A and B are shown apart, each in its own frame.
Chain A
Amino acid sequence: MSRESAVPVGAPAGDDGDNALVAAIRAGERGRFQELVARHQRAVYRTALAILRSPEDAEDVTQETFLRALEHLDQFRGEARFSTWLTQICVNTSRMALRKRHPELWTSLDEPVTTDDGALPREAVEWREDPEQAYSRQEQEELLLNALAGLHPSYREVVVLRDIRQLSTEETAQALGLTVANVKTRLLRARLQLRDRLAARLHAAAAARDLASSAPASPKDDRPC
């Protein structure tokens, strides 16, 4: 499985020139900020959309993330990769957007609800079809976004950074301010819950498809069962 980076924490080498660009912008070439944005806009939008589900919210958060990054660019110390720093801002901005939408869900960000049902999958439903083959890109996206939306936000963030953004465990830990062990524990539960929810949704989608594709009642079928 390819990962975005295997660079250990604290080694800003392999930043693909981000740090040089940041230095140039700080030195006065403000216009070059757009170059920096162009490098990271896809990753930021992807993160925001997967956490928030709504494309409108994701767009707002993407803009907000870059505006904040611009405002606080002089606080970027280069200890972490620029992309990790940006991810950190994006996750925080997404959290704030989520809190605004659903304050009731946010009693605590760090404590996943205690009644978590996802440690052990209840049933092993074999997928009748491979979603990657049976569904269009848009349908896959919808399935995944809906399944993600059912996870507790703290699980969602971990799985979004690790499996959707494909950051390393270390980078995920750094962006979320967690320990690596903590990330691994949450990741296990998050992945199993996501699998569970996706299985349920694939099941429902297959049933809906049956419902749609079943022959409409014709006079010939109008015999008593």
Chain B
Amino acid sequence: MAGLEFVGVRKTYPNGVQAIHGIDMAVADGEFVVIVGPSGCGKSTLLRMVAGLETVTEGEIRIGDNRVNELEPADRNIAMVFQNYALYPHMSVFDNMAYGLRNRRTPRDEIARRVAEAAGTLQLEGLLDRRPGQLSGGQRQRVAMGRAIVREPEAFLFDEPLSNLDAKLRVQMRLEIKRLQRALGTTSLYVTHDQVEAMTLADRLIVMNAGVAEQIGTPLEIYDAPATLFVAGFIGSPAMNFLPGTVAEDGSGANLDGSERTLPVAPPASAGRGRITVGIRPEHLEPVSREEAVLEVVVELVEALGADSLVHGQLADGGEGMAVTVRVDGARQVAAGEVLSLAVAPNHVHFFDPDSGNRLA
């Protein structure tokens, strides 16, 4: 097994589309790294460059200590799980898993042993003679996993492997992938647009936006201190509330646009005296009595999820478009039209420069 490294990697497609604008990062041996970002941001492109399915326009990709830019996919000793599984439809499950080993001239009994072992791990024992067309979505997903693990590669690459499954199966397979990766200790690069999947699976996350890695860090680092407005809005569900405002005259708080009240949390000195964007996650706003409140929200709509409810509303004395979402305990009765008094812990208030989008610290 081996680590993985990107050094100034860029990709421009022949049609001129610049998909990757320079990525630098090292993935440690055995680490599970998730690349997350909206559709079209270049996640697949990055993964396919590691696999050798796309050329690297500039920079270097290393697996272990070797530069692999010029190597054929076959020579990189990686395995990939595709979104549509890419199982060979004319081969049995056994042959699907054995194909890569046969191509590498693995002895027969060794192939049989490894496939049986993988089939055991993935509960595919009874299905080895079937064709992919005779399997359910979840079973196909397992076969695709099996095909990857029998190879015992240096690294696993996953390109949205769960997005064709229904919600329940997705959660189940997510756990299974995590468990399997832990057990095998194989370096993994996992692409998804689903931030919940990203948060739960990753040792470390790369949040991508338009071909740029906006932030690299552990899920909690990114959740607690998002580096940009984009990351702040993308990671966390429901998304963080963004409230535009200015730094108060004495620097001790933030004046939200259209609001009389000053949010009594001091922005960092780097904010100067200009405009700022205040970010507060829905789960960090807490209903309190009027006297303790720092914000007031007029409730417009309540989504009851059971364990908790999502309250959507407008800042009570705010200007146009000061929408706020609050996550409250499911037992709490909230009705539309009600005014909710809210408090927030100072360490859960984020400040961003509205022009550059960068976090102010």
Tell me, yes or no, whether A binds B.
no
What residues of chain A have their CB less than 8 Å away from a CB belonging to chain B? none
